[in-house]
Amino acid sequence: MTHVRGRADRGTGRLCSGQTEQAGCPSHCTADAASRDDRPAHARRIAMLCVPCQRTWPVEGSGNGVAVMTAFDPFVVGPPADRSQPWRVVADGSLSNEMALGDARIPPGAPGPGRHVHTHEDEGIYVVSGVLTVEVGDERYEVGAESFVWLPREVPHVFANLGTEEVWTVGLLSSPGLTGMFHEQAEYFASLQGPPDPEVLLEISLRYGVRPVEGPPLC
How many Cα neighbours within 13 Å face the side chain of 31?
5
In a domain, 142, yes or no: yes
More confident residue, 85 or 108: 108
In a domain, 114, yes or no: yes
Q: Do 68 and 95 belong to one domain? A: no
Q: Do 102 and 202 belong to one domain? A: yes
What one-character-per-residue DSSP string does 6-55 give? --B-SS--S---SSS--TT--S---GGGGGG--S-HHHHHHEEEETTTTE
Domain total in the chain: 2
- Using CA atoms, how far apart are residues 79 and 93, in angstroms rounded to an integer? 15
Q: Do 39 and 93 belong to one domain? A: no
Confidence of residue 109 (pLDDT cuts 50, 70, 90): very high
What one-character-per-residue DSSP string does 92-118 give? -STTTTT-EEEEEEE-TT---SPSEEE
pLDDT value at residue 70:
56
pLDDT in tens, 116-133: 999 988 999 999 999 999
Confidence of residue 99 (pLDDT cuts 50, 70, 90): confident
pLDDT value at residue 84:
67
In a domain, 175, yes or no: yes
Domain that holds residue 94: 87-212
Q: Do 38 and 96 belong to one domain? A: no
Of 30-44, 73-87, 122-136, the range with the lowest mean pLDDT is: 30-44
* Phi/psi at 103 (5° precision): -135, 160
In a domain, 81, yes or no: no
Residues facing residue 125 across a β-bridge: 149, 171
Q: Do 174 and 107 belong to one domain? A: yes
In a domain, 33, yes or no: yes
In a domain, 217, yes or no: no
